[in-house]
Each structure stands twice: as C-alpha cells, then as structure tokens.
Amino acid sequence: MTILSVRQAIREAMREELLRDDKVFLIGESLGPYGGSFKLTEGLLAEFGPEKIMDTPLSESAIVGCSVGAAMMGFRPIAELMFADFVTIGMDQLVNNAAKMIYLHDGALPLPLVLRMPEGGGATMGPHHSQCVESWILNIPGLKIVLPSNAHDAKGLLKSAVRDDNPVVFIEHKLLYNEKGEVPEGEYTVPIGKAKVVREGKDISIISYSYMVKKSLEAADILAKEGIDAEVVDVRTLRPLDVETLAESVRKTEKAVIVHEAPVTGGAGGEIAAVLQEAAFDYLDAPIGRVGALETPVPYSYTLEQAYLPNTQKIVDKVKQLVTR
C-alpha cells in the first residue's frame, strides 16, 4: 500500500489507463500545460503529448459532444468539465445523445465515455461553482453515476469507469482532492454498483456518499461517545444503486439517516429512502431521516455557506432525534 491524495489517485488512474489502452485520451479545458483547473492532469501532457491530452475551447457542449462522437468511433474518452455546475451547458449531448445511444442501437454500439467533474461547496466559490448535481442526472436511464469518498475508491472506480462500455458520470468533491488514504500499489479496480459498509454499527444506519461520508464518520465517532452505535454505509455509485447492501444494513439497525450535500428536496436521498421503504419496510422502527443543504442557492460568504451546508453536528442531531423516538 502507498499513501496518495484523492487528486494523486485520480491522476494515477488516468495515467495507468492511458498506458494500458491506446484508445483512451483526455479532453477538456486547460488540461495540458496548465494541468487542469484542480491540477489533476499535471505532467500528463509532457508524457503523452497533445494527441492524448486535448485542450478544448471553453464549451461544455463541445467537450461532451466530441466525446460522444469519439466513443461511437471506438475511442474511450475521459472528458473533464472545469466545474460540475457547467454540465447544464452540455446536458443536451449528455442526456439526449450519450445516455440513449446504446438503447437506440439495440446494444450493438458501445459508448465508453467517462465524464469527470468536480462539485460541492465549502470553498467559498459561490452559487455557480459549488452545486451538487448528481440528482439532476439521476433521473436519466443510460448513465452510470459514481461518487467516490476516498483515494482508494477514486482510483479503483475511475479505472472501472474507463473500462465500462456505458457512459459514466464520475463526480469528484473538491474538498476531497487533498484527502489522503491508502491505495494498493498494484493493479486493482473497484466494481461500479457496489456499496460498502465503512463502519459497523447496530443502532442506526447513516447512508451517504462523496464528501459527506467523511462527515458521517465524524458524526459516528461523536455518537459512539454517547452510547449510540452508528453504522456508516458509503453508497459509492447512485446508478446502479446497490439496494441490497443498503437494505441489509437497515434490516440490522432498523433505523436510517441519509446524508448528502445537495438540498433535500429532489435529492438522491429521496430515491434511496423510497427503495429502502420497498426493500426493508417491515424492519423499520422509525421514519427514514434525511440531512442535506438548505433550500437556497449556495452562498458566497464563508459564514453563510457554512450555515447552508450539512455538517457533522446536523448529522448527530438527526440521528439522536430518530434513535430516541
């Protein structure tokens, strides 16, 4: 094992896939000499050249559209958007082309496209650069959605995404880029569609993904000191959703709180709560709780943004509310 940041793990995954498969290439804004807006592609241009590390104009519709066309021709593009918020500009190509191409060709035409994009608040980047966008995409069949919470999963899931013949939306939280963790030195992948219990517990299940897994684990540590044994489950992929692992946890603990950074209304937590109600209703001993951001655009002010975001204490308070019913 070696210690890598999430940023290093993602860069290593892309480098290894570029070396492994000559059909893989990177495409996006400022990926070359600048090394990407968050420095995830730093050094790759010097190693692989401009035919593999392609800089584009500032046009998300062009980035996604070119990637769809390249994937149709047998390439495996890894496209990067500077911020996840800008996926709206490429939504027509993503939703009406990428998501439907395999279906329209009766499975005969693979579409191996990975769309990487950083999301999330906490860095005072304001309402246009801080949103969590996964629920915008969750309603679209044909797109896989991956949200890693640590360096090990970031590398393994990205390698799986590159090798998948379906379009994969790979969402990275900006505040995770500097988080470090153990990563195997050899070749490995993490399967798409498999959740993971990252902390065992018996009193309540805290179900989360991406940066909120870190906050959920912090909450579980605080709760343990107060005699509440919380289990933490990392969803890892929203589509496909590993319903069985989530339901198995809830059948054991009989209570659940779902935590994500996006606002609660229309968020992925509502879908998770619905499938848990279908899969584990007879085991539930309390309503399923949800923790998310406030119902406003993301504030620019640090103080207001911190009040807007879900945090460790909000998770603790929701768990206590359910456990003490």
Q: Which of 80, 119, 129, 179 is catalytic?
A: 129
CATH number at residue 134: 3.40.50.970
The list of the chain residues with pLDDT below 50 reads none
CA dihedral angle for residue 111, residue 162, residue 154, residue 45, rounded to 10 degrees: -120
User: Which one is catalytic: 12, 17, 29, 60?
Assistant: 60
User: Are 188 and 151 a contacting pair, CB within 8 Å?
Assistant: no
Q: Are residues 52 and 174 in the same domain?
A: yes
Q: Are residues 225 and 167 in the same domain?
A: no
Report pLDDT for 325: 67
Q: Does 178 reside within a domain?
A: yes
Cβ contact 58:104 at 8 Å: no
Number of domains in the chain: 2
Question: Which pLDDT belongs to residue 52?
Answer: 97
Please indicate whether residue 60 is annotated as part of the active site: yes
3-class SS of residue 18: helix
Same domain, residue pair 119 and 32: yes
> Contact at 8 Å (CB) between 46 and 15?
no
CB contact at 8 A, 24 and 76: yes
Please identify, among 146, 161, 183, the residue that sits at the C-terminal boundary of a domain. 183
Q: Which of 137, 160, 183 lies at the terminal end of a domain, its last residue?
A: 183
Q: Do residue 219 and residue 170 come from a single domain?
A: no
Helix, strand, coil shares of the chain as percentages rounded to 5? 40, 20, 40
Do 25 and 157 belong to one domain?
Answer: yes
Residue 272 lies in a domain: yes
Residues 156 and 96 in one domain: yes
189, part of any domain: no
Active site residue 260: no
Angle among Cα 4, 9, 11 to the nearest 5 degrees reads 130
87 and 135 assigned to the same domain: yes
pLDDT at 324: 84
Query: What is the predicted pLDDT for the residue at 210?
Result: 98
Is residue 308 situated within a structural domain?
Answer: yes
Q: What is the domain extent for residue 256?
A: 196-323
Identify the CATH number of the domain in which residue 220 sits.
3.40.50.920
Same domain, 204 and 168: no
d(CA 318, CA 312) in angstroms, rounded, equals 10
- Which of 183, 209, 240 is a domain's end point? 183
CA 54, CA 262: separation in Å to the nearest integer? Answer: 31
In a domain, residue 281? The reply is yes
Residues 137 and 258 in one domain: no
pLDDT of residue 272: 98
Whether 190 is covered by a domain: the verdict is no
Regarding whether 138 and 216 lie in a shared domain, the answer is no
How many CA atoms lie less than 13 Å away from 126 in the CB half-sphere?
1
**What are the pLDDT digits (tens) for 160-211?**
999 999 999 999 999 999 999 999 999 999 999 999 999 999 999 999 999 9
Q: Is residue 126 part of a domain?
A: yes
